[in-house]
Amino acid sequence: MLIHGLSTSAWALNSKGPFTPLKRDFVENGVPFVADVSSEYEEKNSTEISEEDDSEFSDVVDEDTPVSHDAIAGEKNLTSSRDWKAPDFSGQETALGYSSKTFDIPKGLEANVQFWIDIYAKYTTDQGVLHDSENIDLIYEVVDFTSISSRTDLNAWQKERLKKKMVKEGKQRVIALLKKLHQTQDPSQLTEKEKKIWEAFKQDADPKKFVEAAQKNRLRFQLGQKDRMIQGIFFSGRYIEDFEKIFREAGLPIELARLPFVESSFNVLARSKVGASGLWQIMPYTMKGFMKRDPAIDLRNHPIEATKLAAKLLRINYNMLQSWPLALTGYNHGPTGVLKLTKKYKTRDLGELAQPNGSKKRLGFASRNFYASFLAALEVSSHAPKYLGTVTWSQPLDVVDLKLSQPVKYDDLLRWFDGDDLKVQVFNPHLTRLSRSKGRPIPKGVVVSIIKGKQDLVMRELETPENLKRARTASSVSSNNK
């Protein structure tokens, strides 16, 4: 779940004065470009191993198993709460590809959707499950990290190590169980837990089925998300109404505005290790043809502009694939890759495409579960009290958008936000690390968000270069006197 970009001409100085509050409109028209990156998401098949060799059950622990998330609780304190509202999906008769059954669960994905509902609504980030990645509802063990998370004598790194150790030990127990089942001739001698696993594989005639189930690409740990979902619902209150408006105006189903629950948990500062960024986790190459680049600005991280781009990409996907299940899968897998699969296997049924094809998988785990996780997030977030109890929305960000009449430094924004760096980042997530820590000037014409009540002060400072210089000097003197 996937750096720079702007056109200064898109932010030309408004003729009415040096600063004018305005609507955000950064994304420029361009030649649509959607990269086919399906191969990047395909998972490697495990190597065939001898049935008689005990090593077939060893060395299957994934060292990259995520057992925790970066903390984002500090962002919650930046805004007050308000009552949560259930979504209204009515009035969409003219939306592209829409009907009352558009987001029904495809046949064959029922177990996948229920699995992700449980991940979002049952298990917290202090819990997780060891499960079979193909028979996704086959849960071997529930892993509970509470005893580790609650320890005050450990730092975050030490907790991470202990959690990974706990997962590794759990996987080793499951492997030992699967090895025993592989060697079992008479299931009547098994324990109740062992019989349950045995029965789960009863329809599989492959004599190596338990061996295969113990491989890296099958035995998987999934961290719970319940508290993350509750937090994401709170954060969504800052943006969701604007997002729905964008999708309605684009003629697209507004259910799609809930996709950031899957991509980022509505964490505006979300960044992935593979380069995806922002609420919609857009990759750098995906913005080509849509967003211009600047070292100080990354519009993939701007909530409104990223949403406009996501709407364009999803429309392109739908026009190519003529199905919202396929179009959303294409958002993760690459639409061209999905199109090739539909032609190769002569089906447009995602439930069928998501099933294994003999020893080969048509889609990797992330891609074949992407739409299921979206449907689960849509269900949980739309009926939050049923699944999560009492939830709240954040108030919308209380800001005024202003267009810079001259270049500024990140330190200027810090001054305007009374030194609150986290608030600057959350309110202006499109400012890059180069502007924050490397002193890269934020160009003239860029739109920044200012706390309401501060705009008059900011406008006075930026009327002339001399005013800005005096403000910087005064701030420096004040800091030195403290």
Residues 218 and 241 in one domain: no
Mean pLDDT taken over the chain: 86
Mean pLDDT of 14-24: 34
Mean pLDDT of 26-51: 32
**DSSP of 287-335:** GTTT---BTTBBGGG-HHHHHHHHHHHHHHHHHHHS-HHHHHHHHHH-H
**pLDDT band at residue 355 using 50, 70 and 90 as cut-offs:** confident
Residues 158 and 252 in one domain: no
Q: What is the DSSP letter of 282?
A: B
Q: What is the DSSP letter of 83?
A: E
Residues 384 and 461 in one domain: no
Residue 55 falls inside a structural domain: no
Lowest mean pLDDT among 65-69, 160-164, 199-203, 409-413: 65-69
Query: How many angstroms separate the CA atoms of 196 and 67, rounded?
Result: 26
Q: Which residues of 185-219 are buried (b: 16+ CB within 10 A; e: fewer)?
A: eeeeebeeebeebbebbeeeeeeeebbbbbbbbbb
Mean pLDDT of 473-480: 73
pLDDT computed for residue 77 by the predictor: 79
Flag whether pLDDT at 12 surpasses 70: no
Query: How many angstroms separate the CA atoms of 321 and 316, rounded?
Result: 9
Residue 38 falls inside a structural domain: no
Flag whether pLDDT at 62 surpasses 60: no
Provide the CATH number for the domain around residue 84: 1.10.530.10
Residues 218 and 244 in one domain: no
**pLDDT band at residue 430 using 50, 70 and 90 as cut-offs:** very high
Residue 44 falls inside a structural domain: no
Q: Which of 196, 223, 250 is the last residue of a domain?
A: 223
Residues 174 and 308 in one domain: no
**pLDDT band at residue 67 using 50, 70 and 90 as cut-offs:** confident
For residues 231 and 71, the answer to whether their CB atoms sit within 8 Å is no
**pLDDT band at residue 34 using 50, 70 and 90 as cut-offs:** very low
Lowest mean pLDDT among 35-39, 216-220, 383-387, 408-412: 35-39
pLDDT tens, residue by residue, 83-112: 999 999 999 999 999 999 999 999 999 999
Residues 219 and 238 in one domain: no
Q: pTM score, two decimals?
A: 0.85
pLDDT computed for residue 29 by the predictor: 30
Q: Which of 377, 396, 415 is the last residue of a domain?
A: 396
Residues 249 and 213 in one domain: no
Q: Give the range of the structural domain holding residue 164, as residue numbers without chain letter.
A: 126-223
Residue 10 falls inside a structural domain: no
> What is the tally of structural domains in the chain?
3
Flag whether pLDDT at 36 surpasses 60: no
Residues 442 and 349 in one domain: no
pLDDT tens, residue by residue, 261-318: 999 999 999 998 889 999 999 998 888 888 887 899 999 999 999 999 999 999 999 9
Residues 276 and 311 in one domain: yes
Flag whether pLDDT at 216 surpasses 70: yes
Query: How many angstroms separate the CA atoms of 357 and 355, rounded?
Result: 6
For the chain, percent of residues with pLDDT exceeding 90: 76
**pLDDT band at residue 423 using 50, 70 and 90 as cut-offs:** very high
pLDDT tens, residue by residue, 437-468: 888 999 999 999 999 999 999 999 999 999 99
State the first-to-last Cα distance of the chain, in angstroms, to the nearest integer.
Answer: 46
Residue 46 falls inside a structural domain: no
Residues 289 and 389 in one domain: yes
**DSSP of 101-146:** TTTSPPTT-HHHHHHHHHHHHT--TTEEEEEESSSTT-EEEEEE-H
Residues 279 and 362 in one domain: yes
Residue 17 falls inside a structural domain: no
Residues 386 and 258 in one domain: yes
| Relative orientation angle of helices 324-333 and 335-344, to the nearest 10 degrees | 120
13-17, 127-131, 477-481: which is most confident? 127-131
